[in-house]
Structure 1
Amino acid sequence: MTGDATHEFVRRLARSLALRWLALAFAASGTAGCASLPAPAGVEPSFAIPASAETLLGRLAKNSSPDPTLTGVRLLPTGPYALSTRIALAARAERTLDVQYYLLQNDATGRYLLRLMRDAAARGVRVRLLLDDMYTAGMDDMLIGLAAHPNIEVRLFNPFSAGRGHVLTRFAASALDFYRVNHRMHNKLFVADGAMAIVGGRNIADSYFTRDPNQNFADVDALLVGAVVEQLSSAFDDYWNSEFAIPLAYFAPTSTSAEERRRAFDDVTARDALPTEVVEEKTDVLGYGPIVEEMSDPRIGLIWGVASAWVDPTAKVWNCRPVPEGSTAPHLHTVRLRVEGLLRNARREVTLSSPYFVPAEDGMAIFGQGVREGVSYKVLTNSLAATDEPLVHWGYMRYRRRMLLMGMELYELSPTRASRDRGFGLFGSRTLGTLHAKTAVIDRSTVFIGSMNFDPRSDALNTEIGIVIESPQLAREMLRLMNLDKLQSSYRVRLSPEHGRLEWIGIDDFNEVVHNDEPDADFRTRMYLRLVAPFVSEGML
């Protein structure tokens, strides 16, 4: 094991053990109440500005729509296209940018997009940036510098009030408030001028846009135009104006002048100019060109259908609050329960993609009932070698044999196969791949795209967002993406006909290659699971 690999292994082990120890300590304390967040004085609510044909994006949205009740969708399956679409929206916004993410990394991509927000604000655009506070450690000064520019406000969701310099010190300082801070806002949403939005699985970092030299995520976003955008804007307002969204300045006060803070921000982000050509390929894997090329046309080409936005209520963070007698309202409309409803209503087939897939007994009951009724299931998830969360993969491993015995098809993304697969377009030849897309296709007609993983954390601890759209044409495009991934970049898992043992099957040059153990998994990952997994319950994954 190299020095860097050893350091990463120790870092991951220490972080996992520390967070699990804090969770166990909190549970053992017997404190079941919910601690309160501060209520800073003078924080005014604000609300989305409706789309208008007076803006470029508003005119494009209106001219492109065949019916105001419909939603138009353009899938964004490759990193460069997903990034160039965000850049195009930020550069052309004239009134508002509402940006909400679980993670905005302090790297070249993150700093560049922050600078684009600054540039938009300088044009008079109102910018509202809402970040979950989990991974903002060390970013306070830069974000304060951004917020010092006119027309920009930055809020942190469910923030840590102490130990802000490091993830571990944040949790350590919040040990008595662990129940609250262990709930995170996992939403990903980008809305420009109330007219166009991006929803999907991508956070903002180099690795989500194929710009990391070592490891990148395979993900899917959707550009949205039409009726569903208003729903998404309303959902943003709910989060922005909630008691959990606290202005950054409350936790990171500074004595420097606004001009000094702006200058510091400009200095930090000035070096992060992207290449002139963000998109090198003329078309993506679905045959689309960059969306920016259509923004000078009277309308843009989209797939249209009836869509709904599914968004967890912010009260999910306080799900320990007493529920009024006879009411289950806080639990009725979670994204997870709605997706489970889609699965229960399936009549022919379900194709799922989830990087972290732990069905639990509730999910197994849905699958079992569906199989008995003739529904076929295909699931694409990460292999042990591909996952960035081995403990969650351990949770999946506990159900793998049972799912195969039911007749479900399981595919596991291989980082080495994905790196070789230039035809799929998600990874370069020198990068390893990790699946991050959270999608579902039901009966070849209904599509879900969002931030929700099929695992206990997304079910109970994280807030999530997604859209569901009725469109056989969009379903065909999504299935094409998923089939490419399954066939070219993954192993199919099966039970050996002779011995009933697990086997991983890949096709190389039209020849079947059989592995009898977790392919590509290295020693440190296996050791990590042996050391940590025995101490982790499924509910902690």
Structure 2
Amino acid sequence: MPADRIGRAGPTLVLWLTLGFALLLGGCAGLPTEVARRSSVTIPNGADTTLGRLVAATAPRSADEPLSGFRLLPMAQFSLHARIELIRRAERSIDVQYYLVQNDETGRYLLRHLRDAAKRGVRVRLLVDDLYTAGADPLFRGLAAYPNVEVRMFNPFPAGREHFGTRWTASLLDFNRVHRRMHNKLCVVDDTMAVMGGRNIVNEYFLRDGGSNFIDIDTLVAGPVVHKLSSLFDIYWNSPYVYPIESLVSADGASPQALRSRFDELTSGPGTPEPEQPSATDLLGHHPLAADLDAGQLQLAWARAEAYADAPAKALAPEESRGAPADVSPDSVQFNLQRHLRGARTEIMQTTPYLIPGRGGMETIRHVRGNGVGYIMVTNSLAATDESLVHIGYRRYRAEMLRLGVALYELSPKRVEQSRRFGMYETSSGRLHGKSAVIDGRTVFIGSMNFDPRSVLHNTEIGLFIFSPQIAQQLNSLIGFIRLDGAYQLQLGPRGGIEWVSPAAGDGADTILHTEPETNFWARWRLELLAPLVPESLL
């Protein structure tokens, strides 16, 4: 699977070419009507489950208000392991919501464990954005054929479902709908523990791809804020913008048993190998989650937290009924992140793989820098990005951000490979995908939202704010590892051009580069050619 198809719903060069071809064909198809959507909500109060009892036994007793527990998951194997362990131990319910569940070793492995949970009697609800599910209908249709499982697709393509290109061709005249996507990532078990953050369920997010792999950040969540996450899932699950897989994909006369047998065939054997098990401890000194659960204890940081998700209508309702824009809606991720950023007093440290601040973002940067607040931003270099068109939008703002005093860093694939701190990348390229922020050393943001127009205008997002100096210090350290071991720092040269500084090892002199590092002439020339043609609002 091409790396530039991972991580966001922005049109890539492949998509533009597909749409151009579709103009010649002029196809269009409509979504099914009179769809039966059985309403359901979270099975509440998981306190009587094994996980619920463990959370209750671990939670602080003397807090003035109920606190939630958190453990950052910066390393890929630990993050996948945490999801699988929670699913394995679920007793009542599993709610899973992702922008991307790929039909690869990782996707099939997770789906197989959802099947096993359903066979134990656990209710499973799986909600997937339909953008990248081409060719995977037998997989999702087969899973939905099991008792206790429901599978729904957000904003689906009604025709040409076998191939990415034919989907767009069939929906050309509906482009204003189909390019709007659900970017959320969430896995909740028994309404008592969850994993959320930036990772999709794809090989590239768990160091299982030979071409490129992502540095990302998730968090394990326990306690009261999990119920808020569950309620946010329910809003999406019961919205008119999701469609049961049965309404999109016919069984073609196959019996439920035949569909289940096909699913078992697709998810068994050498095509779905066991992932590599996590090492003894991660970067923060945490053991794999199974070790804690087996010992009946949880190593968590307890703090107050808030969770937000954009309304599904943000992306898909008629314009007159979408409600307030994301930057002014109090329930949106964008509004609350901007609120905390603009309220900073000392320092902001932020990571985002796709950085296009736009007018609103630049206003925020000017505001906080005008108040004397330090601003550190880490993003992808041209060599690291999987969306080179996005880099066109980003580079328009680099010089101005540097003039405002932003400490700007770009990830170096070579330095990430050499560092090995975030895992063994071997011959694959390292790319940044984490969306996070640390504000004043006490407020942490982790979620799915990038710092770009697409996240504000076209996609739905989810985000978590954790008010914990302990978690803030840990995330500061993780971002520091990236800056020191895996990134170039940008600066303005004597004539105002961009320079990339590569720190020297030991007492040697730093290396200063004057062109986009780790790229060739053709990669840079292509951007120059495309730059005038790419509207920023669609990046």
| CA shift for structure 1 position 65 | 1.2
Alpha-carbon distance between aligned partners in 2 of 1:132 and 1:285, rounded to the nearest angstrom: 32
Matching residue of 2:254: 256
Q: CA, structure 1 residues 539+273, in 2 after alignment: closer, same or farther (shift >3 Å)?
A: closer
The alignment partner of 1:308 has SS state of strand
The alignment partner of 2:361 has SS state of helix
Q: Does the 8 Å contact 2:12/2:387 carry over to 1?
A: no
Alpha-carbon distance between aligned partners in 2 of 1:20 and 1:537, rounded to the nearest angstrom: 16
Matching residue of 2:218: 221
Q: CA, structure 1 residues 19+185, in 2 after alignment: closer, same or farther (shift >3 Å)?
A: farther
Runs of 5+ consecutive residues of structure 2 not aligned to the other structure: none
Alpha-carbon distance between aligned partners in 1 of 2:361 and 2:302, rounded to the nearest angstrom: 31
Alpha-carbon distance between aligned partners in 2 of 1:246 and 1:410, rounded to the nearest angstrom: 42
Code of the aligned partner of 1:342: H
Matching residue of 1:278: 277
| CA shift for structure 1 position 63 | 1.3
The alignment partner of 2:79 has SS state of helix
Matching of residue 16 in structure 1 with residue 16 in structure 2: yes
Matching residue of 2:155: 158
Q: Does the 8 Å contact 1:39/1:243 carry over to 2?
A: no
Matching residue of 2:73: 76
Of 498, 501, 519, 1:502 maps to 498
Q: CA, structure 1 residues 416+365, in 2 after alignment: closer, same or farther (shift >3 Å)?
A: same
Q: Does the 8 Å contact 1:216/1:427 carry over to 2?
A: no
The alignment partner of 1:463 has SS state of coil
Matching residue of 2:300: 302
Matching residue of 2:385: 387
Matching residue of 2:40: 46
Matching residue of 2:200: 203
What are the within-5 Å matches in structure 2 for residues 125-524 of structure 1? 125-254=122-251, 255-271=253-269, 272-275=271-274, 278-279=277-278, 281-318=279-316, 320-323=318-321, 328=324, 332=329, 333-422=331-420, 424-496=421-493, 498-510=494-506, 511=508, 512-524=510-522
The alignment partner of 1:204 has SS state of coil
Alpha-carbon distance between aligned partners in 1 of 2:457 and 2:20, rounded to the nearest angstrom: 16
Code of the aligned partner of 1:237: D
The alignment partner of 1:434 has SS state of strand
The alignment partner of 1:452 has SS state of coil
Q: CA, structure 1 residues 276+463, in 2 after alignment: closer, same or farther (shift >3 Å)?
A: closer
Q: CA, structure 1 residues 57+19, in 2 after alignment: closer, same or farther (shift >3 Å)?
A: farther
| CA shift for structure 1 position 368 | 0.9
The alignment partner of 1:370 has SS state of helix
Runs of 5+ consecutive residues of structure 1 not aligned to the other structure: 27-34
Q: Does the 8 Å contact 2:108/2:272 carry over to 1?
A: no
Q: Does the 8 Å contact 1:80/1:209 carry over to 2?
A: yes
Code of the aligned partner of 2:307: A
Q: CA, structure 1 residues 144+382, in 2 after alignment: closer, same or farther (shift >3 Å)?
A: same
Q: CA, structure 1 residues 329+356, in 2 after alignment: closer, same or farther (shift >3 Å)?
A: closer
The alignment partner of 1:135 has SS state of coil
Code of the aligned partner of 1:390: S
| CA shift for structure 1 position 493 | 0.4
Code of the aligned partner of 2:159: A
Code of the aligned partner of 2:50: L
Alpha-carbon distance between aligned partners in 2 of 1:410 and 1:243, rounded to the nearest angstrom: 41
Q: Does the 8 Å contact 2:30/2:158 carry over to 1?
A: no
Q: Does the 8 Å contact 1:228/1:309 carry over to 2?
A: yes
Q: CA, structure 1 residues 273+539, in 2 after alignment: closer, same or farther (shift >3 Å)?
A: closer
The alignment partner of 1:508 has SS state of coil
Q: Does the 8 Å contact 2:413/2:430 carry over to 1?
A: yes
Matching residue of 1:101: 98
The alignment partner of 1:533 has SS state of helix
| CA shift for structure 1 position 432 | 1.1
Q: Does the 8 Å contact 1:195/1:226 carry over to 2?
A: yes
The alignment partner of 2:414 has SS state of helix
Tell me the number of residue pairs that the alignment of Structure 1 and Structure 2 aligns: 520
| CA shift for structure 1 position 106 | 0.8
**Deviations, residues 466-508 of structure 1 (Å, cap 9, x unaligned):** 1001111110000000000011000000012x33321111123
Code of the aligned partner of 1:328: A
The alignment partner of 1:462 has SS state of coil
Alpha-carbon distance between aligned partners in 1 of 2:35 and 2:497, rounded to the nearest angstrom: 62
Root mean square deviation of aligned Cα: 2.3
| CA shift for structure 1 position 425 | 2.2
| CA shift for structure 1 position 353 | 0.2
| CA shift for structure 1 position 191 | 0.4
**Deviations, residues 409-433 of structure 1 (Å, cap 9, x unaligned):** 00000111111111x2244233210
Matching residue of 1:30: none
Q: Does the 8 Å contact 1:418/1:427 carry over to 2?
A: no
Q: Please give the TM-score of this superposition, normalised by the length of structure 2.
A: 0.92
| CA shift for structure 1 position 39 | 4.4
Q: Does the 8 Å contact 1:349/1:375 carry over to 2?
A: yes
Q: Does the 8 Å contact 1:506/1:514 carry over to 2?
A: yes
Alpha-carbon distance between aligned partners in 1 of 2:216 and 2:54, rounded to the nearest angstrom: 26
Q: CA, structure 1 residues 151+40, in 2 after alignment: closer, same or farther (shift >3 Å)?
A: farther
Q: Does the 8 Å contact 2:32/2:248 carry over to 1?
A: no
Q: CA, structure 1 residues 106+528, in 2 after alignment: closer, same or farther (shift >3 Å)?
A: farther
Q: Does the 8 Å contact 1:350/1:443 carry over to 2?
A: yes
Q: Does the 8 Å contact 2:37/2:238 carry over to 1?
A: no
Alpha-carbon distance between aligned partners in 1 of 2:263 and 2:103, rounded to the nearest angstrom: 12
The alignment partner of 1:161 has SS state of coil
The alignment partner of 1:300 has SS state of coil
Q: CA, structure 1 residues 319+342, in 2 after alignment: closer, same or farther (shift >3 Å)?
A: farther
